[in-house]
Amino acid sequence: MLSLTKSIFNNGSKIGFTSQVYLNALRQYATKTNKDSTTTPKVTKKQITLEKRLKKFDERVEKQLQKTLRGSRAKSPYNLFVASQYVNNKVESGTVMQRMKSISEKWKSISPSEKSQYIQKSKEDKARVDRENSELPQKPSKSSPYTLYIAAKASSKPTGVKVTEYFKTLGKNWSSMSDADKEPYIKQSEKYKAATTEKLDKYNQQVEQLRKKIVDNLSKK
């Protein structure tokens, strides 16, 4: 594979990332030095060019990976209405601001029954997005003793006390607590840590599988 890669590259042919195996071969060639040289091993200009292309490819993969992990967001009723205006060529000419103002005025003027159609479509889109996002790798959250303490006390906020002030008080209370009082939260945190380690390993495996899938998809383009 490596000799084939070198042959293709030396002949000036266009290189396409057709598979993960081929991509790995390209990486090997891009970083390979001339060991037969009697002087300091050198990397050719072609290898440098290829390495730059591979770097850009990696950046595309990482960008797509992070975008996928963030998940999708459901379209709001108004966004669906805006899209329908463009699809049906109902948008008046003018600047972007003028067109958006016109669409906004139309949205305000349509009847409740018309709006209900977009509201229903938005609910359906949210159900779809929630279903798809639930299938994405979910990174397990870390639970420190302090976090567990805050979570345990959060529901006990006195009526009339601001949330910020209450959590500030909890922070001071935690700082002044004895080791014996903190012990239950420390033990609970250790249990979470053991379970989280296993979940984190599974998460990393899922992310790696997703990364390979993205590489394969981008390689075909």
Residue 28 · residue 4 · CB < 8 Å: no
Same domain assignment for residues 151 and 209: yes
- Whether 66 and 7 map to the same domain: the answer is yes
CA distances from 67 to 3, 73, 139, 200, 203 (A): 36, 11, 15, 20, 16
The pLDDT profile of the chain, 221 residues, written as one tens digit per residue, is 344 344 434 433 334 444 555 566 666 666 665 555 555 556 677 777 877 888 888 889 999 999 999 998 999 999 999 999 888 777 777 788 888 888 899 999 999 999 999 999 999 999 999 999 988 998 887 788 998 999 888 888 888 889 899 999 999 999 999 999 999 999 988 888 877 888 888 899 999 999 988 888 887 76
| Number of compact structural domains in the chain | 3
* Sequence-ordered list of residues with C-beta below 8 angstroms from that of 81, at least 6 positions apart, any chain: 103, 106, 107, 110, 115, 118
Nearest residue to 143 (alpha-carbon basis) of 151, 153, 134, 135 = 151
* Domain end marker among 114, 134, 154: 134
- CA–CA dist 27, 47 (Å, integer): 9
What's the confidence (pLDDT) of residue 98?
87
Domain end, chosen from 24, 41, 70, is at 70
* 209 and 174 housed in the same domain: yes
Whether 139 is covered by a domain: the verdict is no
Distance, first Cα to last Cα, the chain: 21
Phi, psi of 44 (to 5 degrees): -75, 165
**């084939």: which residue's tokens?**
4
Quote the distance between the C-alpha of residue 199 and its chain's center.
Answer: 18
Q: Which domain covers residue 94, as residue numbers? A: 77-134
**CATH code at position 182:** 1.10.30
